[in-house]
Amino acid sequence: MCVTGRRATAVLAVVFGVPGVAGLLALVPGLDLQTSIVLCVGALLLAGMAATNRDPMGTDVAPPAVGRRYVRELVVTMTAYVLVLAASLWLLKRVDPPLLRALVALAPLLPIWLAVRAVLRYMRALDEMQQRIELESLGIATVVVSMLYMTGGLLQSAGLFQVPGEDAMIWVFPLISGVYGIARGVVARRYE
Amino acid sequence: MKSRVRELREARGWSQAQLGERLEVSRQTVNAIETGKYDPSLPLAFRIAALFDTCIESIFFPEASE
């Protein structure tokens, strides 16, 4: 399979966007508003990356074989994630025993872990300067999202607003991933 | 850090991508080294020196002493 990172990112935007929009319009039974919003925001971010970034998946800076494997693994695992998530939400409405519910609820973590593994393998195959760019970007994403949550936590302790814990927790990973993606573009420019 | 990497590469008629392939780094990394935006690690500097058949000191120079 020969696809560029840019095309693959556009494909993923559709994979996230179609169920996201369908969920917003209440066309998918079991897909709640919160999840639909996460999917839609993810789709918008991916579409933005495909439209503005020449090399959204960073395949240009990796050895060709590594880049191709990375794109293939990301498309497969993220598509699997959306499917498993939909199946998991559908099943949660029909399954009662607590242990089974926990397993069904955690099922989407498996494709996410496979995607994380693909990212780690890709990073290990990069050269020393590219690894440094990844490290700096990851550091920036961690600090930005931590500070955002600390700001929210302090304001919430002061009783100024109230965000339910489950909403806050589900956003940590998408936020870190999003800020990481943006930071990578900015950090890489310093070495151009 | 200043370097003679570009000069040595061009003398051999290689593109940045071709030099990158020989050093097993990306074209972007070769470019950053040539423009002084990235200082290579000691092992990579030794690989560069070995490729051009010379010593590190004749390729890389600290900014001040240039």
How far, in whole angstroms, is CA A24 from its chain's centroid? 19
Pair (A110, A144) in one structural domain: no
* Model pLDDT, residue A3: 57
pLDDT digits (tens, 9 = 90+) for A160-192: 989 898 888 988 988 998 899 889 889 999 998
Considering only CA atoms, which of A117, A124, A138, A123 is closest in space to residue A183?
A138
Pair (A115, A34) in one structural domain: yes
- The Cα of A127 is separated from the nearest Cα of chain B by a number of Å equal to 5
Tokens of A20: 């996201």
Which of A90, A105, A126 lies at the terminal end of a domain, its last residue? Answer: A126
Pair (A50, A99) in one structural domain: yes
Pair (A3, A81) in one structural domain: yes
Pair (A35, A52) in one structural domain: yes
- The Cα of A129 is separated from the nearest Cα of chain B by a number of Å equal to 6
Is residue A35's pLDDT more than 60? yes
Interchain pair A129, B32: CB under 8 A = yes
Pair (A138, A108) in one structural domain: no
Pair (A114, A135) in one structural domain: no
Interchain pair A191, B28: CB under 8 A = yes
- B positions 5-34 inside 8 Å of A (CB): 24-26, 28-29, 31-33
Pair (A185, A133) in one structural domain: yes
* C-beta of residue B30 within 8 angstroms of C-beta of residue B23: yes
B30: nearest CA partner in chain A: A129
Interchain pair B40, A130: CB under 8 A = no
Alpha-helix residue ranges (DSSP H) falling in chain A: 5-24, 33-52, 64-92, 98-106, 109-124, 128-157, 165-190
Pair (A102, A43) in one structural domain: yes
Which of A84, A111, A126 lies at the terminal end of a domain, its last residue? Answer: A126
Query: If pLDDT is split at 50, 70 and 90, which confidence band does A96 have?
Result: very high
Question: Mean pLDDT for each 10-residue chunk of chain B (66 residues)?
Answer: 94 96 95 95 96 95 69
The total number of structural domains in chain A stands at 2
H or E stretch including B2?
strand B2-3
Q: How many CA atoms lie within 13 A of A155 on its CB side?
A: 10
Pair (A40, A132) in one structural domain: no
Pair (A25, A113) in one structural domain: yes
Q: Which residues in chain B have their CB less than 8 angstroms from residue A128's CB?
A: 25, 29, 40-41, 44
Ordered by where they begin, the domains of chain B are: 2-54 (1.10.260.40)
Interchain pair B32, A130: CB under 8 A = no
Pair (A88, A146) in one structural domain: no
Q: Domain containing A28: what range?
A: 1-126
pLDDT digits (tens, 9 = 90+) for A52-76: 777 788 788 888 888 899 999 999 9
Interchain pair B32, A192: CB under 8 A = yes
Q: Which residues in chain A have their CB less than 8 angstroms from residue B29's CB?
A: 61, 127-130, 191
